[in-house]
Chain A
Amino acid sequence: MEFKDNIPIYLQIKQYLYRQIITGKLQPGHKIPSVRELAVELTVNVNTVQRALQQMNAEGILFTKRGEGNFVTEDTALLEQTKAKLIKAELEKFVQSMNALGVSDDQISVILSNYLIGE
């Protein structure tokens, strides 16, 4: 995992964990790695991991069992919402870079459907 150094690291850790959850690498109801394990895995500061996890706890996507660590929510509606947010964020990135290449919003949908049917 390589982080961009001009975006707050805790936001990138959150994005990384959302992705792990949505792709099923971290399963609903299962324990996620400890703060220190994540810090070593991602080569980041323990405080930064803690900040990301605190926010995800507040959002409800993670929950804490005292003395046991952090677990992924089993709330399917919330997981769906999180997935929808990730998809929207990816679409925004895509549209922005298309716009930057001079492709208008109208053209994007045409180009995209052509691409998908293999033209």
Chain B
Amino acid sequence: MDNLLEIKDLTYKKNQKIILDKINLELQPGKIVALLGENGAGKTTLMRIIAGMAKNYQGSVTLLNETKEAMRKAHLSFTDGLTGFGDSTKIQDIVHFYQVIYTDFDDEQFDQLRSFMKLDLNMRLSHLSKGMREKLIIALTFSRKADLYLLDEPFSGIDAMARKKIINSIILWKADQATILISDHFVNEIATMLDEVVVIKDKTVLTHQSTEAIRTNNLSIEEYYEGLYLKEDE
């Protein structure tokens, strides 16, 4: 199958310090993939590079045959924590911004997601709990018609109900050919919905495996992931 995303020998430095070192990664269409690694492993940086937000890297990032950042951006949907909006911004103003900026923003899809997530358009960012904020980010991200969706730690610090809601929305709204890359430092609660896991360690991709292949060896995804870290400690 043709790759959706191809990353070749990607190295990224910040203030002379190597953050990512010779990353190679290929993702196919139609997959749900976890990007795992400890806090500070470089998961967010890798997502920002794929999304075209972090520049000046070495190596190449190709999304559907496009290597230029602006062209890549048209094929992917990434919501960077809503950091650009002030606390008093209402949800409806953020939605309006998305409608203006992104031509692929689907109003009907957003309405469905919004009612599924029980989000009120009149609420302001400052009034959203961590879980509500993540639900809003998911609703905005999935309302765009993209080939690649990047979700940066959508499950960190949220309760079980919100997590379940987000997982269900991913299963329900993911188009067949779209691929979702979800970063997390913990895999247990999302393991059953994953096709593949990518583990980042020591600034590079340590392993990229199919989850069902891991289970064929009678290992749970969590045991496998923890095992990769234990080896180091011995």
Residues of A within 8 A of B (CB): 3-10, 36, 39-40, 42-48, 51
Contacts and interface: CB of A to CB of B under 8 A. Distances in A.
Given A3-B192, A6-B223, A43-B192, A36 B172 contact: yes
B119 to A, nearest CB: 20
A39 B170 CA distance: 11
Nearest to B219: A6
The B interface is mostly helix, strand or loop, or mixed, namely: helix
Given A7-B218, A8-B215, A9-B215, A39 B171 contact: yes
A55 to B, nearest CB: 13
Contact of A7 (B31, B32, B171, B215): B215
Interface string B170-205: 011010100000000000100111110000000000
Contact of A45 (B32, B188, B218): B32
Interface in B209-231: 211-212, 215-216, 218-223
A10 B191 CA distance: 13
A10 B219 CA distance: 15
Contacts of A46: 171, 174, 176
Contacts of B212: 8-10, 48, 51
B18 to A, nearest CB: 34
Contact of B167 (A8, A43, A47): A43
B172 A6 contact: no
A9 B211 CA distance: 9
B198 to A, nearest CB: 16
B30 interface: yes
Query: Which of A5, A7, A9 gathers the greatest number of chain B CB atoms within 10 Å?
Result: A5
Contacts of A10: 212
Interface of B: 30-32, 164, 167-168, 171-172, 174, 176, 188, 191-195, 211-212, 215-216, 218-223
Given A10-B212, A45-B194, A46-B176, A5 B220 contact: yes
A8 B172 contact: no
B216 to A, nearest CB: 6
A16 to B, nearest CB: 12
11 contacts: A5-B188, A5-B222, A6-B215, A7-B218, A8-B215, A8-B216, A9-B211, A36-B172, A39-B171, A43-B171, A47-B30
Contacts of B218: 6-7
Contacts of A51: 212
A48 B30 CA distance: 12
Contact of B191 (A5, A39, A42, A47): A5
A112 to B, nearest CB: 29
A9 B223 contact: no
Given A44-B193, A47-B31, 12 more contacts: A3-B192, A5-B188, A5-B220, A6-B215, A8-B212, A8-B215, A9-B211, A9-B212, A36-B171, A43-B193, A44-B171, A46-B174
